[in-house]
Structure 1
Amino acid sequence: MVSGGDHGQRSEKSIPSPHVFVVLLAAGLSNRMGTYGSKLLADFDGTALVRRSAHVALGSTADAVVVVTGHRRLQIEAVLDGLKVECVENPLYESGMGTSLAAGVSRCRDRGADAILIMLADMPGLTSGDLDQLIAAFRSTNGDVVVRAMGAGKPGNPVLLPKTLFEAVEQLEGDVGARQVIEASGLPVVYVEIGQAALLDVDTPEAVRAAGGTLNA
């Protein structure tokens, strides 16, 4: 009986786990891909890179996945068909990453997110376990920190942002990331080592091939 009473007290005092959403950025122009078009449609082990990235996000402990689309939107969204993701169009995608971040964060705020893990869709080395390490690190804190992946001691991606930074991210414009928001916030940054996957993105045809991908026109 005493044991049961203790358990009840702990349950009453338990704090709900924060809702962490993934914002998968898939709107970019792929400017360095030349005639090959979108790098996100490159084939990795029989799967388009953007769908592979969405699978990784869905396989994590995140509560939801929001994909921001823009360049080749219809093709990207067709590739994602059947997956439990929400696609949000960024009509300003040609202006740069800042507008995609703003669009994704705004949607997640509307859906009740407490934190957002920003994931680039062109990072083929990431696994669901990598994302889980970042999410677990955030959930072990008081909820007002930034969590960032590292590779061999160097800062990389993904980055997880708390709710207190949402408003600032929603004001981003042009081709900027969240770095200036993080630096201006003064919040502590928790670094999580996940290896070279944190540093590997594929911006060129050569990088796609070196990472094991096959290019499509």
Structure 2
Amino acid sequence: MTLRGADGPAGLLLAAGAGSRLGRPKALLELDGERLVDRGVRTLRDGGCGPVLVVAGAAPVEVIGAVVVPNPGWRTGMGSSLRAGLAALPPGCPAVVVALVDQPRITPEAVRRLIEAYGEGARVAVATYAGRPRNPVLIAREHFAAVAEAARGDAGARTFLRAHPELVTPVPCADVAAPDDIDTPADLEAFTRRPPR
């Protein structure tokens, strides 16, 4: 799959980590017979993103319907994956929705809400749950460079967002999604007992 210019927001799924506390890469985990990486791509596509890019690192992955971006520096943390993904976006991409592979209760509706906020003028839109900012996050093109510059270690976009609260449009999503993540075997067991939406 090759990258062409995007008319609307692209999707960027960060899926490079080794899952050290879990004991295996999260991208390859299966819930309900579907790998987390495939679920994340489907969520972004169904939410209105195109193209969708997946940043991979610890485990090589092939994903139908997405472009895989290798991150050789994945061991340094999420910041390097965000930088790699932003650098790989197609020319002229107007905005990107960034999601994490280990949050399978994020839904297409949450992604759509961020894109709707962008359509209404938001330049940075963040999904919130009970008033707390989490993921996914939409970033307009004019902020790509600053977000990449601030992305270090495991912070991802958080450093930029905290430094520029005046740019952030909060988008309530608690009624349609949840930011629960899978970090440990106990987390995975909990998700298995209560599958994602």
Shorter-chain TM-score: what band?
0.7 to 0.9
What's the CA shift for 1:18? Answer: 5.8
- Trace 1:172-211 onto structure 2 (pairs within 5 A): 172-185=151-164, 187-195=166-174, 197-211=177-191
Aligned pairs, number: 186
Contact 1:66 1:104 in 2 (8 A): yes
Structure 2 residue 58 is matched with structure 1 residue 45 = no
Query: In the aligned structure 2, how far is the partner of 1:130 from the partner of 1:70?
Result: 26
Query: In the aligned structure 2, how far is the partner of 1:46 from the partner of 1:107?
Result: 30
Q: Which has the higher helix share?
A: 1
Query: In the aligned structure 1, how far is the partner of 2:165 from the partner of 2:128?
Result: 19
Instruction: Give CA-to-partner distance per residue, 1:4-61, whole Å, 9 cap, x none.
Output: xxxxxxxxxxxxx962111100001211113xx1222222111111111111112121
Query: In the aligned structure 1, how far is the partner of 2:77 from the partner of 2:111?
Result: 24
The match for 1:102 among 83, 108, 111 is: 83
**TM-score between both structures, scaled by the size of structure 1:** 0.79
What's the CA shift for 1:160? Answer: 0.8
**TM-score between both structures, scaled by the size of structure 2:** 0.86
Contact 1:21 1:115 in 2 (8 A): yes
The match for 1:20 among 9, 21, 30 is: 9
Q: Find the structure with the greater CA-based Rg.
A: 1
Q: RMSD value over aligned CA atoms?
A: 1.9
- The percent of aligned pairs where both chains have the same amino acid is 35
Taking structure 1 as reference, are residues 123 and 94 closer, same or farther at Cα in structure 2, changes over 3 Å only? same
Contact 2:15 2:26 in 1 (8 A): no
Query: In the aligned structure 2, how far is the partner of 1:135 from the partner of 1:157?
Result: 13
What's the CA shift for 1:198? Answer: 3.7
Structure 2 residue 71 is matched with structure 1 residue 84 = no
Query: In the aligned structure 1, how far is the partner of 2:153 from the partner of 2:106?
Result: 26
Q: Which runs of 5+ in 1 are unaligned?
A: 1-16
Q: Where does residue 154 of structure 1 map in the other structure?
A: 132
> Which secondary structure does the structure 2 equivalent of 1:32 belong to?
coil
Q: Where does residue 3 of structure 2 map in the other structure?
A: none
Instruction: Give CA-to-partner distance per residue, 1:148-196, whole Å, 9 cap, x none.
Output: 0011222111111111211123333322211222233454211111117
Q: Which runs of 5+ in 2 are unaligned?
A: 1-5
> Which secondary structure does the structure 2 equivalent of 1:137 belong to?
helix
> Which secondary structure does the structure 2 equivalent of 1:57 belong to?
helix
What's the CA shift for 1:105? Answer: 0.5
Contact 1:22 1:65 in 2 (8 A): yes
Deviates more, 1:179-188 or 1:41-50: 179-188
What's the CA shift for 1:116? Answer: 1.2
Structure 2 residue 141 is matched with structure 1 residue 163 = yes
> Which secondary structure does the structure 1 equivalent of 2:187 belong to?
helix
